[in-house]
A and B are shown apart, each in its own frame.
Chain A
Amino acid sequence: MRLRNYIFRRLLMIVPLFFFTTILVFTLIHLAPGDPVMIMFGTSTPYMKDIVKEMRETYGLDKPLYIQYFIWLSRVFRGDLGYSYLNTRKVIQMISERGWPTIELMVLALVFSVVISTVFGVFAAVKRHSIFDNLITTTAVLGRGMPNFWLAMNLILIFSIYLGWLPVFGRFTVGAVFSSPFGYWLDRIKHLILPVISLSAFQIAYFTRLIRSTMLDVLGQEYIITARAKGLKESVVIYKHALKNALLPVVTVVGIYIGSLMGGAAIIESLFAWPGMGRLLVNSTYRREYQVLMSLNMIIIFMVLVSNLITDVVYAYLDPRIKY
Chain B
Amino acid sequence: MEFPKESSIEETTALEYLFSRLSGLRKLKRNKASIVGLCIILVFIVLALFPNVIAPYHPFTTFRSRQSPSSEHWFGTDTLGRDVFSNVIWGVRTTFYIGTACVLIELVIGLLMGGLAGYLGGWIDDLLMRITDIILALPTLIVLILAVSMFKVRSINIIILVMGLIGWPYMARVIRSQVLSIKTTPYVEAAKAMGATTQRIIFRHILPNIILPIVILITIHFAGYVLWEASLTFLGLGDPNSFSWGVMIMAGKNVLRSCPWISTYPGLFLFIMLIALQILGDGLRDIFDIRV
Residues of A within 8 A of B (CB): 17, 20-21, 25, 28-29, 31-34, 141-142, 144-150, 153-154, 156-157, 161, 256, 258-260, 262-264, 266-267, 270-271, 281-282, 285-286, 293, 297, 300-301, 304-305, 308
Q: Are A149 and B139 in contact (CB under 8 A)?
A: no
Bound form: Cα–Cα A148–B227 in Å: 10
For B152, list chain A residues within 8 Å (CB): 32-34
For A161, what are the chain B residues with a Cβ–Cβ distance below 8 Å? 256-257, 260
CB distance from B266 to the nearest CB of A (A): 8
A147 to B139, Cβ gap below 8 A? no
B142 at the interface (CB under 8 A from A): yes
Does A260 contact B139, Cβ atoms closer than 8 Å? yes
Nearest B residue to A140 by beta-carbon distance?
A: B278
Please pick, from B146, B253, B278, the residue contacting A145 in the complex, using a CB distance under 8 A: B278
Subset of 25 A-B contacts with CB under 8 Å: A17-B137, A21-B138, A28-B146, A28-B150, A32-B151, A141-B275, A146-B274, A147-B270, A148-B231, A153-B249, A153-B256, A154-B264, A156-B256, A161-B257, A256-B137, A259-B137, A263-B231, A281-B145, A282-B145, A285-B146, A286-B149, A286-B236, A297-B146, A301-B138, A305-B137
Question: What chain A residues lie within 8 Å of B235 (beta carbons)?
Answer: 266-267, 270, 282
Known: A33-B152, A153-B249, A161-B256. A146 touches B140 (CB 8 A): no
Grouping DSSP codes into helix (H, G, I), strand (E, B) and loop, the B interface class, with mixed when no group exceeds half, is: helix
The answer to whether the Cβ of B81 comes within 8 Å of any Cβ in the partner chain is: no
Q: 15 new A-B pairs (CB below 8 Å) besides A28-B147, A153-B252?
A: A33-B151, A142-B275, A145-B274, A147-B271, A157-B256, A260-B139, A262-B142, A271-B253, A282-B235, A285-B146, A285-B149, A293-B146, A297-B146, A300-B139, A304-B139
CA distance A260 to B144 in the complex (A): 11
Q: Are A144 and B263 in contact (CB under 8 A)?
A: no
CB distance from A277 to the nearest CB of B (A): 10
Which residue of B has the minimal Cβ distance to A148?
A: B231
A31 to B272, CA, bound (A): 38
Give bound CA distance, A144 to B220, whole Å. 11
**B residues near A300, Cβ cutoff 8 Å:** 139, 142
Query: From residue A134, how far is it (CB to closest CB) to chain B in Å?
Result: 11
Q: Bound complex: CA of A135 vs CA of B38, how far in Å?
A: 22
Quick one: CB contact mask for B238-262 with A, threshold 8 Å, 1 for yes?
Answer: 0000000000010011001100100
Task: Let me know if A150 and B137 touch, CB within 8 A.
Answer: no
Q: Is B121 an interface residue (CB 8 A)?
A: no
Nearest A residue (CB) for B230: A147
Given B146, B234, B253, which contacts A29 in the complex, CB threshold below 8 Å? B146
CA distance A150 to B234 in the complex (A): 10
Residues on A with C-beta less than 8 A from B227 are 147
Name which residue of chain B comes closest to A293, CB basis. Answer: B146
Distance of A308 Cα from B235 Cα, bound (Å):
27
Chain B residue contacts of A33, Cβ below 8 A: 150-152
Q: How far is the CA of A161 from the CA of B258 in the complex (A)?
A: 10
Asked whether, in the complex, the Cβ of A150 is within 8 Å of the Cβ of B263, the reply is yes
Across the interface, B267 reaches (CB within 8 A) one of A144, A147, A286, namely A147
Contact A21 B253 (CB under 8 A): no
B237 is an interface residue with CB less than 8 A from chain A: yes
